[in-house]
């Protein structure tokens, strides 16, 4: 689950299936220990129909936690702090950064830094399409060191300058849960 609509979709499914839950948030549903195996199977089936997957292995859960943290940080402004992303992630998942970085790269086929860059570019596209903020203001909001740095990253990933993108009438964007370097 990578957006508030996803959370609401999963919440509705849990209500439909009469499955109690302790907590639901981006990327995570916590069921009480009393949840039965048949309820978990029904949930997995319902999630699959909605385009979600129930993650049950440790590496998938770790990668999902990392992705959710980055998406919340970039797209919703949560978890912003003066510390480096690597420090914040390590604290969030309570593991050494080198370990989580290796697991993420092995499972996803890209680095945490690359995933973060791709998410930031999608957010830049969104902000450019609103045509309300300058490049410098967008750079500041997304924690780039400067507008020039944002422009270099944007052009490297999209092949066009932010100003050229802003002039388009149709803004080619991707769903944040489908951001990949080859897509």
d(CA 87, CA 166) in angstroms, rounded, equals 34
pLDDT of residue 22: 85
CB 166 within 8 A of CB 133: no
pLDDT of residue 125: 93
pLDDT of residue 82: 78
Cα Rg of the chain, angstroms: 18
| pLDDT < 70 regions, the chain | 1-2, 55-56, 169-183
CB 37 within 8 A of CB 57: no
Of 158, 64, 177, 159, nearest in space to 119 by CA: 177
CB 31 within 8 A of CB 16: no
CB 151 within 8 A of CB 164: no
CB 75 within 8 A of CB 123: yes
pLDDT digits (tens, 9 = 90+) for 52-99: 877 667 888 899 899 989 999 999 887 777 789 999 999 999 999 999
- Quickly count: other Cβ atoms within 10 Å of residue 121's Cβ: 24
Q: What is the DSSP letter of 19?
A: -
CB 69 within 8 A of CB 115: no
């Amino acid at each position: 689950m990578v957006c508030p609509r996803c959370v609401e979709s999963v919440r509705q499914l849990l209500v439909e299936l009469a499955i109690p839950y302790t907590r639901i948030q981006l990327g995570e549903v916590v069921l009480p220990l009393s949840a039965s195996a048949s309820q978990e199977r029904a949930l997995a089936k319902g999630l699959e129909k909605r385009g979600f997957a129930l993650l049950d292995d440790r590496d998938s859960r770790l990668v999902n936690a990392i992705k959710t943290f980055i998406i919340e940080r970039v797209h919703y402004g949560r978890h912003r702090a003066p510390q480096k992303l690597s420090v914040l992630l390590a604290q969030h998942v309570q593991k050494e950064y080198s370990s989580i970085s290796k697991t993420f790269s092995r499972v996803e086929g890209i680095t945490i830094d690359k995933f973060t860059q791709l998410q930031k570019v999608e957010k830049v596209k969104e902000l450019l399409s609103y045509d309300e903020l300058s490049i410098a203001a967008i750079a500041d909001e997304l924690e780039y060191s400067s507008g020039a740095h944002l422009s270099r990253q944007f052009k490297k990933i999209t092949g066009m300058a932010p100003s050229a993108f802003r002039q388009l009438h149709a803004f080619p964007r991707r769903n944040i849960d489908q951001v990949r370097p080859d897509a």
